[in-house]
Every structure is written in structure tokens, then in C-alpha cells.
Chain A
Amino acid sequence: MHTLTLSDPGEALRKAGVVYADYQAAKPVDPRVVAAMLPYMTERFANPASLHGPGDEATAALEDARARVARLIGAEPREIVFTGSATEATNLALIGYALRNRRKGDHVVVSEAEHISVFNVAKHLQKAGFRVTRVPLDLHGRVPLQKLRSRITDDTILVSVQWANNEIGSLQPIAEIAAMLEGTGIALHSDAVAAEGLVPIDVREVPVSLLSLSSNDLYGPRGVGALYVRSGVQLAPVILGGGQERGLRSGSEDVAGIVGMAAAADIAREEMAAEAERLRAIRDRLVERVLAEIPDAHLNGHPELRLPNNAHFRFDGVEGEAMVLSLRDHGVAAATGSACSSKTLEPSHTLIACGLLHEEAHGSLEFTFGRWSTDEDVDRIMAVLPGVVARLRSLSPLYRPKATGGPGAAPQATTATTKDAR
């Protein structure tokens, strides 16, 4: 048998000279998770549907994994449906619930902060004859309760509000929303992908009906997700076939991947509290330094009620993609909500819903920290970020520093005859 040596993601990044601050986009699989998965790829490969001994072992592994993922969110094992991704879980939640409960009403409410995958599923529901209403956000990207309440009608059957925002990290008042909807017969779906592993999620305390989870966001493998379906909530399947996962998600189960998600969930359950505090300290230091050392920098999202690993800035007069490209040259991996980095050329809908102007949304820069982030990463980011912003501002005809003000304060560039044109 081959012996595998698993490399440590932190060491690999250090060797490559990369400061990785885009954990929201993708996370490495924790080597402990890989170790837990390996036997299920080579030795314990059987199909849980098989009646023989190895099949029974696969069933046991699958059900054990279900219990462990359930435990992370305070659910019963039978309330967990494994899927091929969090996007698939969201499809099952929204389409499956709407189709199955259509006789109760045809109205669905989603927040303006939702991930694009939720928006596009909602659009699909609209084409299928449902009415969809969006709830606006406040300055910090949170859903105001009274705005949500005012949009609920007698025909409303389903509300979808994420646990936390994937871009600016704002935590939604999901407990208050769940309490508001409890007993109304309206189902509440929450996309918890950005929040899982960073803030406590307990469906006994926050009675959501449906909750989407991803494996990779817990440092598990890609290609695995899960939907929490509260006992008694009825769904129609969206993927049909051999009737796996109580008929809700057909297709032979990826036992190795599911075991990986369970191992990742165990680690998150045990380490989350300490890890969140560690990430918060790293993040807070970056926010403090950016706001102190870079003029005309702003923090997007809520100052406190946000994910502990998320720092989302905007810089006056600078475009986001240009910042990400420049940081890449310095070995720093970050993200932006600028349209220039997207497929649609539209800036981030979340930033616009917060009330930002397009030019401000174009100037956004997002850092998300994770399990292998260190204090040194902040130092390395701050060794280059002020220079990157200053350089791009020196190219920009838009930027006039506030500190000196006035029309004579154009940034210095390598001009033949320097002057301010305005």
C-alpha cells in the first residue's frame, strides 16, 4: 500500500510566497479531513444500497456522517439530506418547497443580500408562475425586520434570508426573523454557507425550516453539500432517480465526500469558538491598520455584527479589479465586488442594495481570513496595500485627497508640466 504524505496548506502557501486572504471563495481541505476520507476511496468503496457486508459498512459510515453533520447545527440526523453542493441544497429547498406547497400560496420573499444562486433560483420560480418579492437592506446590508414584515402577504409560503452575507460579512437578524415567522405556516430558508464554521448555528434555538450547508466552507471537500429539512417540512425532489436520501436527492451517495464533510463538521464543532476569536483578532488588526494608514478608506458592512473573518473595504478613486491585479503582483490573493471582475459587468448587487453608488461599489476590496491565516499576513498585506492604493490613485483622474482638499490637491504624477486641470 502506498503511504501518502499530506502537505500542510499553511506551509504550502508560505513556500509559494502567497498571502491567501480569499477564504470566502475557496478553502483548502483540512489534511485531517483528507485522512478521514482516504479509506472510503480505496478500501471502503461499497455502495450503501448494496445488501452485502461491505454495503452495510458503507451505510453505517453514511449514517454516522449524517449524525455528525446534524450535531454541528443541533439537528436530528434524519433532518439532514446530503447533496452535491450548497447550490443544489438551495435548489432543493426553494424549488422543492415551492412546488410541493403551491396549494398554500404562490408568493416567495427573498432578501436583497442573497447569494446570486438564490436570486437565480428565485427567477426560475418566477418563470414557473410564482411571485417573488425582494426585501431591501439597511446601510449595513442587514434585513430590517419591519421591511420584511411589510412584504408578507396571505399568499406568502416561503422566505429566504441568508445567515450571513458572503461579501460584506454582515450577520442577518435570522433569530428575530425565525421568531417572527414561527407559527405563521411560512417556511424560512437560510443559506448558511458564509456563516458555517464561523458563528454558532443551532436550529433548536433558531427555528428555521430549511438550511443550506456546504462542505468546503467547513474545510471539507468540494462537491458535497447538505440541506437541513425540519421534521414535518415537505419537499418535492428536484433530482430524480434511484430514490436515495429519502427520495429527495437521487444518485449514489459520495460516501468518501460525505465522510469528509462529517470530519470537517467535527473539527468545526470543536475548534470554532477558539478559531473565530483568533480570526477576529487578525481581522480587527487589518481593519484598524487600513483605516488608520490609508486615507479615504471605508469599511463596508456592519462594524460589529459581521463574520469574524471578513474585512470589506472601499477606497475612494480606485477601481477594485485594478487593486486585485496589483495585489496579485505582490503575492496577495484578495477579492473585489467590482463589475470589472464579473461576468455580467454589473457591480455587486449587495453593495448597491446597501446604498453605495456604482463608482463606490467598483472600488471594493474584500479580505477573508481562515484556518491558515496568521498575524504576519496582515503585516504583509499592509506592507503593500497602501502603496497599491496610492499608485492607482496617482493614475486616477477622480481622486482628490480630503486631507488637503481644494482643487490644487491633485495627486502628483510623473508629469512634464504638473498642474491640476480642474
Chain B
Amino acid sequence: MKSTQYSEKTLDHFRNPRNVGTLEGPDVAVGRVGNPTCGDLMDIYIRVKDDHIEDIRFQTFGCGSAVATSSMITELVKGMTLDEALKVTRADVADALDGLPPIKMHCSNLAADALHAAIRHWRDGVTVEEALAAAPAAPACGAPAGAAADGVATLDRFEGRGVYRRLDDPSQLAGQRVVVLDTGDEAARLAIDLTGHTGRVVLMTPGKEPAVSPAVRSALRLSDVKVLAEAEPLELLGEGELERIRVHDLAEDEEYELAADAFVVPG
């Protein structure tokens, strides 16, 4: 079955998703599942009154079935008690949509998981802010909570052949794919500066957001720097010069390789 051969019901929920958005207030909890690396990220917000789901909203980044399952589950569980809602399974959501293509059953059917996470958070008293692990507070001046490169295997082997501890002249990286390790404001400023010389600058940070001051954070958002969050470098790879960085995805505890020509570790 082709991945795009969805049921009419699934297509309807994709085209006209129900209950899109967010909720706020002391009676609200949220569950977040997925990972943009895998192509899916889903937030489900519930407003709880008398142990019932009084209101529900979602936001989803993902394919057709990711959107449709989110939309469907909001319709399914609205008004249910929390215990009833906890019994709603992935299979129930898929059935309510008249089925999903087999390849989508696992990867893009996370809505029940997100709902259950929201209910657990409600019961455990986890606030929306905590659940979404809001950006870390800006570090105190002079104490950046950024990354350290000491543990990166083969860092020394590529010194001068793709690895830079300092960059006197950013234009020397013109046209290259540059990954800057987030070691604080200086690293972020350097990354922004580099976008004037090359079209591809990635700022790699182990946190959910770069460990920078508010002013630098705004500048980063407006820049062409691509922030790679929740990632740390494990090993540098290449024949003679740097070609790939083996990256640890901290959110998923998985590893993957990122093609790059330069790795800058402002020290």
C-alpha cells in the first residue's frame, strides 16, 4: 500500500483538522512526543475539570497521518474521564480513522502516546512549561552552560584539517558547511558572523536551546544559523580531512552522521 493511500476519514482530518492550537491556565497539562529528526513532533494539551477532559488542543509537525491521528484523538476523548482516556490506544485511533497504511502504524501514530503523557503530567503536577522543557534560563554572565568538545574522539586528528579552535578570518570557510559547537555567546556570535561567508552554518548545542544570553538569542533567531538542539558530537570522520560528524541525538539517544566540512570549537 502506498503511504499516501489514506482513508477518506484520514484525509478529512488532515484537510480539516479539529481542535488545533494550545491551551493555557492552571488546569492545563501537555504531552509532547516524537522528534523532528524522525519527521514527527506532536503536542497535545488537555484542560481537566472534575477528572474529565473538558477541552483539548493539538499542534503537530508531521506527515498526513501524524496530523490526522492528532485531530482524531482530540475528538475521541473530549469529555472522557482521565481513566477512560488512558484506555484509548493507538489501534483505537487508527480504527476510528478507518485504518492507516501499515507503514504508518508505528511511525506516525503517536497521538495516543502524547495524550497519555499529558494525563500523566496532569496527575504528576507537571506544568506545561516544565513538560515542554522551556528554554533554559540564560546563563549568568561569564558562565555559559554550553558544550564541551573534550570527549570528541579524533578531534586532534583533524586539527587544521576541518577542526578550528579559533577563527581569525571567517572568510576562510567561504562556501563550506560549518558546524559551530555551542560554547556560549561567543560561539553563537561567531556562527552569525559566518553566515555572511557561507550559506550553511549549524550551531550544535546539547540543550533544547543554545546556552546564550537573551540578546544573542534574538539575534540567532533572526539569523540564517540553523540550530541543532539536543545534540552532541561523538566522533569526527573523514579521509584525510573532516567530512562527517557522528552526532549523538540526546532526545532519542540515537546516533547519526552529519556531513560537514568544518567544525569550529571556540575555546
Contacts and interface: CB of A to CB of B under 8 A. Distances in A.
Interface of A: 136-139, 147, 150-151, 317-322, 324-326, 328-329, 338-343, 345, 347, 352-355, 357-360, 362, 394-400, 402, 405-407, 410, 413-422
Given A340-B39, A354-B259, A139 B175 contact: yes
A40 to B, nearest CB: 34
B107 A345 contact: yes
Contacts of A321: 3-4, 63-64
A416 B55 contact: yes
26 contacts: A136-B238, A136-B244, A138-B177, A139-B177, A139-B200, A321-B63, A322-B62, A322-B63, A322-B67, A326-B15, A329-B15, A339-B38, A340-B104, A353-B259, A357-B258, A362-B39, A395-B17, A397-B42, A397-B59, A398-B41, A402-B222, A414-B20, A416-B21, A416-B47, A419-B22, A419-B24
Given A325-B4, A359-B36, A398-B36, A340 B107 contact: yes
The 8 A-B pairs at the shortest CB distance, nearest first, are namely A415-B21, A340-B63, A359-B36, A397-B59, A413-B21, A321-B63, A362-B39, A396-B61
B7 to A, nearest CB: 13
A417 B24 contact: yes
A340 B30 CA distance: 25
A136 B222 contact: no
Contacts of B240: 150
Given A355-B177, A358-B39, A399 B61 contact: yes
B187 interface: no
Contact of B202 (A150, A357, A415, A419): A357
B89 interface: no
A413 B59 contact: yes
A137 B256 contact: no
Nearest to A360: B226
B14 interface: yes
Given A397-B59, A405-B222, A415-B20, 11 more contacts: A139-B199, A322-B14, A325-B63, A340-B63, A341-B63, A355-B259, A357-B202, A405-B221, A417-B24, A421-B22, A421-B134
A326 B62 CA distance: 13
Would you call the interface of chain A mostly helix, strand, loop, or mixed? Answer: loop
A88 B4 CA distance: 28
A321 to B, nearest CB: 4
Interface string B33-66: 0001111111100010000000101011111101
A415 B230 CA distance: 29
Contacts of A397: 32, 41-43, 59-61
A415 B57 contact: yes
A338 B107 CA distance: 13
B21 A319 contact: no
Contacts of A151: 239
B167 interface: no
Contacts of B6: 325
A413 B22 contact: yes
B108 interface: yes
Contacts of B43: 397, 421
B111 interface: no
Contacts of B60: 395-397
B23 interface: yes
